[in-house]
Structure 1
Amino acid sequence: MFLISMLSPIPTLSEASNSHLLTSAKAGDRILAVTIRKAAEKLHHLMNLRQIIQFHALSFFHLSAPDLLLGMDKG
């Protein structure tokens, strides 16, 4: 119970990126000496890849695409 009160409030996906959430989960696993299953490791890796794809899509469509479509001088 004490550990849960130390960790709250737990950040949600809207407050922190997946990288931060996965890193804190891995740190908690190491502190508590917990071994996670292979399926959980694959899920962590999949979540990390999803964030990479989301970041690149955001970067292209919101930052680069207007310059490519409208021209560099239309800022």
Structure 2
Amino acid sequence: MNVTAVVIVAIVGVTIIKLAKLMDKARQNKSGSSQQARQYDTQIAALRERIEVLERIVTDEGYDLKKQFNNLNKDDDHVA
């Protein structure tokens, strides 16, 4: 085998190793991003649940925000 053939084989070998490492890294990033997507989905579901609870509180017939503000104003008038 001449020197040129050895150099070509070495270059091809190094290139194959680098490509394999890049492909492995890409797979790891893909699995990491899917894990992050699952975390986002979990957070979004929790936030939706909190919003639903707040909507139920605000739309509840027994929840009278204006009355509560008036009561607070009356309490402030008595203190002052």
TM-score (structure 2 length as normaliser): 0.41
Greater RCO between the two (CA within 8 Å, min separation 6)? 1
- Greater CA radius of gyration, 1 or 2? 2
Higher helix share: 2
Q: TM-score, normalised on structure 1?
A: 0.43
